[in-house]
């Protein structure tokens, strides 16, 4: 009997242990399976959920992305966690922010031009008729002292005659005055001595080159009459030339006076010429958005010819000291702001992601300078950032699409102030809209009766160009007494308004919106108000 009792007690103990420990182990196994299982969804259709990582969205055929975990590993409500497997399937790459010298490769395009400082205009120093030309075509090489032309000059004949008469009369004062007049006409001392020796006046005079150079323009022909100071030839000394390049305004911070730059010309492949930057234009041309950059290059063999196309390539142009540089693939642009995702590794190899707003500097090709918002050593998502942002949206966290203005959006605050100012100046506030409450017999816009007999809907066509327009149009409509709601669609250019007919009308809504600068299908904004809109809001073509 005792043995039977012992057996029953042992059996009851084993059964109780199975219920206690077996149930707990089964529950733990199920809980573990649920925690390990990863769900996937479509970034365009978040209602699609599956645990098959290789599946496609049945609606659009896109690859599915992992659903972010909400296991509460982070105390930050704006952050979310993804498992290591989910991060790997999303092709996410993480980099550590480091400081480096911002360097940029610049490519400049331009042409070879004559050195303006070595141009010379050869003029006629006496009036007369051109009897002979010793230089007959452009491009001819001229040396200083070379005869360029022969001129017949009645004025010269008179001056020489006066000098010879003064010599005959032996009057030193008059003779010296006549000799000075000949010098003024560019008669040399040797020619004056020859005239004094022979006593014969010569009305013909040669024009000698004042400088070395190439004839780049021929201004006169044989037989033409010229006045004193008339230009006969334009000469240019091409022993040194200018390389003039066009630099975009975004590249100007990387260029400075004194930089040594190498360039090539299309007609001389393999030859590299160098020059130092001597001048950067202080004016940017409005059409091309470029400024002139000038370099001087020695051209002893005259290989470089004005008009040749030139290309300059600067590999390591620097703008500042070391700073943080990120690849462009790491940055999301929302229009007014730039954001990145900062990653933090957890104990279970999962990654916690949080959105960070940053301030960007100049672009460096495929990279961009970060002015503020990131510290050295932080882990940043370098690629796959759109998948991370889509996961944030699906998890209900902050993302590029729903970034709140509380993060210090200065542009948003400025925009609101601008809207308030426009509302005040254009009489678009509550008190002013009371004047538009008169009934209208027939409205152009389509009006739809709602379930509430006291509220109606109107779909009004309203022109606009940007998100600032959207905010101003909606705020103007909502400021009208009697308007319950207003929503403007940027792509369709349609304003949907719910209003109380007893308090306002579609005509009053249309006039109020036109008063702040936006054309509707019923009213057109005045030119003065429209012209006062910011540049991004200009919608008229």
CATH topology of domain 410-537: Alpha-Beta Plaits (3.30.70)
Determine whether domain 117-236 maps to CATH 2.40.50.100: yes
pLDDT band at 415 (very low <50, low <70, confident <90, very high): very low
What confidence tens digit (pLDDT) does each residue in 493-520 have?
Answer: 899 999 888 889 888 899 999 988 999 9
What confidence tens digit (pLDDT) does each residue in 305-354 have?
Answer: 999 999 998 876 666 667 888 888 999 987 678 899 999 888 777 888 88
> Span 98-117, mean pLDDT?
85
Q: Which token pair is 432?
A: 């002013």
CB 290 within 8 A of CB 249: yes
Closest CA to 293 of 251, 323, 332, 329: 251
Q: Which token pair is 313?
A: 């390539």
CA–CA distance, 430 with 434 (Å, rounded to integer)? 7
pLDDT band at 265 (very low <50, low <70, confident <90, very high): very high
pLDDT in the model for residue 23: 47
More confident residue, 7 or 374: 374
Report field, pTM of the whole predicted structure over 0.75: no
Strands of the sheet containing 225-226, edge to edge, are: 204-208, 147-152, 128-133, 225-226
Has residue 425 got a pLDDT over 60?
no
Query: Which of 295-304, 385-394, 397-406, 413-422 bottoms out in mean pLDDT, i.e. has the lowest?
Result: 413-422
pLDDT in the model for residue 264: 92
CB 216 within 8 A of CB 114: yes
Query: Which of 23-37, 368-382, 495-509 bottoms out in mean pLDDT, i.e. has the lowest?
Result: 23-37
Task: Look over the chain and give the mean of its residue pLDDT values, rounded to a whole number.
Answer: 78
- Tokens 């010298």 belong to which residue? 101
Has residue 404 got a pLDDT over 90?
no
Has residue 99 got a pLDDT over 90?
no
pLDDT in the model for residue 146: 87
CA–CA distance, 165 with 163 (Å, rounded to integer)? 5
pLDDT band at 427 (very low <50, low <70, confident <90, very high): very low
DSSP E strand boundaries for 221-272: 225-226, 231-236, 240-248, 260-265
> Span 186-212, mean pLDDT?
83
Q: Is 95 helix (H, G, I), strand (E, B) or coil?
A: strand
CA–CA distance, 316 with 365 (Å, rounded to integer)? 12
Pairing relation of β-strands 260-265 and 225-226?
A: unpaired
Has residue 185 got a pLDDT over 50?
yes
List residues bridging with 152 in a β-sheet.
129, 204
> Span 378-401, mean pLDDT?
84
Closest CA to 336 of 533, 536, 493, 494: 536
pLDDT in the model for residue 293: 94
What confidence tens digit (pLDDT) does each residue in 266-304 have?
Answer: 888 888 998 889 999 999 998 889 999 999 999 888 889
Q: How many Cα atoms are found within 13 Å in the side-chain-facing hemisphere of 466?
A: 13
Kindly tell me the sign of the dihedral angle through the C-alpha atoms of 181, 187, 189, 193. negative
pLDDT in the model for residue 447: 41
pLDDT in the model for residue 267: 87
What confidence tens digit (pLDDT) does each residue in 128-147 have?
Answer: 898 888 888 888 888 888 88
Percent of the chain with pLDDT over 70: 80
pLDDT band at 532 (very low <50, low <70, confident <90, very high): confident
CA–CA distance, 517 with 511 (Å, rounded to integer)? 10
pLDDT band at 11 (very low <50, low <70, confident <90, very high): low
Q: Is 316 helix (H, G, I), strand (E, B) or coil?
A: strand
Has residue 432 got a pLDDT over 90?
no
pLDDT in the model for residue 408: 42
For the chain, the residue count is 541
Cα–Cα distances in Å, from 406 out to 352, 375, 393, 402, 425?
A: 22, 21, 18, 11, 28
pLDDT in the model for residue 462: 92
Q: Which token pair is 323?
A: 């700073």
Closest CA to 43 of 76, 73, 68: 68
The residue extents of the domains of the chain are 80-96+328-359+373-404, 117-236, 410-537
Pairing relation of β-strands 231-236 and 260-265?
A: unpaired
pLDDT in the model for residue 320: 62
Has residue 489 got a pLDDT over 50?
yes
CA–CA distance, 516 with 525 (Å, rounded to integer)? 7
More confident residue, 34 or 327: 327
Has residue 443 got a pLDDT over 70?
no
Environment class of residue 312 by beta-carbon count within 10 Å: exposed (0-12), middle (13-18) or buried (19+)?
Answer: buried
Closest CA to 200 of 237, 142, 160: 160
What confidence tens digit (pLDDT) does each residue in 210-255 have?
Answer: 888 888 888 888 888 888 888 888 888 888 999 999 999 888 888 8
């Amino acid at each position: 009997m005792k043995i039977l009792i012992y057996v029953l007690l042992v059996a009851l103990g084993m059964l109780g242990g199975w219920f206690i420990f077996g149930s707990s182990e089964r529950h733990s196994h199920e809980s573990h399976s649920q925690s390990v299982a990863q769900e996937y969804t479509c970034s365009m259709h978040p209602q699609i959920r599956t645990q098959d990582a290789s599946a496609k969205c049945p609606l659009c055929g896109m690859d599915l992305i992992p659903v972010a975990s909400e296991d509460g590993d982070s105390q930050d409500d704006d952050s979310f966690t993804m498992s290591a497997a989910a991060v790997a399937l999303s092709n996410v790459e993480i980099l550590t922010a480091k400081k480096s010298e911002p360097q940029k490769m610049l490519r400049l395009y331009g042409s070879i031009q004559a050195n303006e400082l070595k141009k010379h205009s050869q003029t006629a120093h006496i009036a007369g008729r051109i009897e002979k030309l010793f230089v007959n075509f452009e491009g001819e090489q001229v040396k200083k002292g070379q005869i360029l032309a022969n001129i017949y000059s009645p004025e010269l004949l008179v001056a020489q005659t006066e000098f010879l008469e003064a010599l005959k009369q032996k009057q030193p004062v008059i003779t010296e005055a006549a000799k000075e007049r000949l010098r003024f006409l560019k008669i040399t001392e040797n020619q004056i001595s020859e005239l004094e020796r022979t006593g014969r006046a010569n009305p013909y005079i040669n024009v000698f080159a004042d400088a070395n150079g190439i004839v780049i323009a021929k201004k006169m022909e044989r037989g033409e009459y010229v006045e004193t100071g008339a230009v006969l030839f334009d000469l240019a000394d091409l022993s040194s030339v200018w390389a003039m390049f066009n630099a975009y305004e975004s590249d100007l911070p990387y260029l400075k006076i004194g930089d040594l730059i190498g360039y090539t010309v299309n007609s001389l492949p393999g030859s590299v010429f160098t020059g130092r930057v001597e001048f950067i234009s202080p004016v940017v041309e409005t059409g091309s958005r470029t400024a002139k950059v000038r370099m001087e290059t020695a051209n002893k063999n005259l290989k470089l010819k004005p008009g040749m196309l030139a290309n300059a390539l600067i590999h390591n142009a620097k703008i500042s000291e070391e700073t943080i540089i990120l690849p462009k693939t790491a940055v999301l642009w929302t229009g007014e702001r730039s954001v990145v995702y900062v990653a933090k590794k957890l104990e279970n190899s999962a990654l916690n992601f949080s959105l960070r707003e940053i301030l960007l500097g100049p672009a460096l090709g495929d990279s961009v300078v970060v002015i503020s918002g990131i510290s050295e050593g932080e882990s940043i998502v370098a690629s796959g950032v759109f998948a991370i942002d889509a996961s944030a949206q699906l998890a209900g966290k902050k993302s590029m699409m729903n970034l709140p203005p509380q993060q210090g959006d200065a542009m948003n605050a400025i925009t609101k102030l601008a809207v308030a100012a426009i509302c005040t100046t254009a009489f678009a506030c509550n008190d002013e809209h009371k004047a538009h409450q008169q009934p209208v017999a027939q409205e152009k816009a389509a009006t739809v009766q709602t379930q509430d007999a006291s509220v109606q809907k109107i779909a009004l066509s309203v022109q606009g160009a940007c998100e600032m327009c959207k905010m101003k149009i909606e705020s103007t409509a909502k400021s009208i007494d009697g308007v319950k709601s207003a929503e403007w669609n940027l792509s369709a250019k349609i304003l949907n308004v719910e209003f109380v007919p007893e308090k306002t009308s579609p005509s009053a809504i249309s006039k109020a919106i036109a008063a702040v600068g936006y054309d509707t299908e019923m009213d057109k904004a005045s030119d003065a108000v429209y012209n006062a809109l910011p540049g991004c809001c200009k919608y008229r073509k």
